[in-house]
Amino acid sequence: MKKVFFILAAVIAFSFNLAAQSPHTYYSEQSNPAWSGEHSKWRIDINGGYGARLGKLPETDDEFTLNHASRLRYGFEYNGGVSYFFNDNYGLGIKAANMRTGSTDIVTLIDELGNEHTGKFQEKIDITYIGAALAERTFSANGKHSLFCEIGFGYLAYNDNITLVQQSFLEKGASLGENFSLGYDYFITPKIAIGISAEAIFGKLNNVTLIDGNKRPQKIEFEKDQLETLSSLTANIGLRFNL
């Protein structure tokens, strides 16, 4: 994931350098009045991307367990936000994000009578974040490029739908989460931009509630050194609407 940050930084640096060195390539504030003046108060962004959870893999030599856990680390994320800016640079907003990962294997279980049962062992993890954010943005001289940064905290929910042969379980929990994102926007019109961003979400679970097929809840507490990590790092691309 470090490559994502290097690529993002390179794109941002190249774009601002291009705007500075090639003033005739883009509209300037003087040649196109639509880009000049005060920038929009409202910013709406819709994104999709791919990322990784930052938790450690289980400390085991079992290849099956390691492969299953490794697949649960990577998945797609969809996120969006609404920000209101008090001036050209600073504002407050709401951020929401949803990351989904999954892993499926075929397993064989042996019951107490020695009978074999073969079926699917599947986990579908859904991590949802929603919270408030402090936003900052800055524009290039011609108004066609923008850097965007936000930091915030909010509610972080975890759901793991588990299927084990003929049984189904739900493992769920919630925690306080933190969010940080950094992005670059390129305006294709004065009100619409396309952009890329890197986003990090941080959070841990102290406990989860396990619900089996009979809907009997069971609370499971984690040891301090075995907390369930919900932190993730993603790279995204999307649209921005400035109203």
Q: How far apart, in whole angstroms, are the C-alpha atoms of residue 204 and residue 208? A: 11
Q: What is the pLDDT of residues 114-132, one digit of tens each?
A: 888 888 999 999 999 999 9
Q: How many CA atoms lie within 13 A of 173 on its CB side?
A: 22
- Please give the structure tokens belonging to residue 111: 């019951």
Q: What is the pLDDT of residues 143-183, one digit of tens each?
A: 899 999 999 999 999 999 999 888 889 999 999 999 999 99
> pTM here?
0.81
Residues above pLDDT 70, as percent of the chain: 84
The CATH architecture of the domain made up of 2-242 is Beta Barrel (2.40)
- Dihedral (CA of 5, 11, 15, 17) sign: positive
Q: What is the pLDDT of residues 57-83, one digit of tens each?
A: 887 888 888 888 899 999 999 999 999
